[in-house]
Amino acid sequence: MLMHVTGENFQKEVLDSETPVVVDFWAEWCPPCKFLGPILEKVAPDYEGRVKFCKLDVDAAGELARRYGVMAIPTLIVFVGGEEKTRHEGAMPEAAFRQWVDADVLG
């Protein structure tokens, strides 16, 4: 399941999560974000219970984007135990995304 997070629920859904969380920092007007979004929706069910996938609209939650130093979108940041583990900037095809999740998120 793909969850939308905001400044109001970021602490609970991302930082307090017991499983790793991939947060997609994106914007509606961003073409690479529109390419990556459906890939996240497609693969999220395959990782249910092991990884949580969230989308955060940088236009609606600019303070969080600034706090985590997001300078380009899409930016994927992996949080484990409330701390940033790794990040990836830019879109990628589904096979590369799955490989990144398996190696950098779960690995």
Q: How far apart are the first and last CA of the chain?
A: 21
Q: One of 14, 22, 33, 36 is an active-site residue; which one?
A: 33
Taken in order 30, 74, 32, 56, the sign of the CA dihedral is negative
- Domains of the chain listed by start with CATH number: 2-105 (3.40.30.10)
Q: One of 14, 21, 22, 30 is an active-site residue; which one?
A: 30
Q: Which two tokens stand for residue 69?
A: 């130093």
Q: Among this protein's residues, is 33 annotated catalytic?
A: yes
SS3 assignment, position 17: coil
Give tens-digit pLDDT for 9-50: 999 999 999 999 999 999 999 999 999 999 999 999 999 999
Beta bridge partners of 57: 26
Query: What's the pLDDT band for 107 if we cut at 50, 70, 90?
Result: confident
Contact 75, 22 (CB under 8 A): no
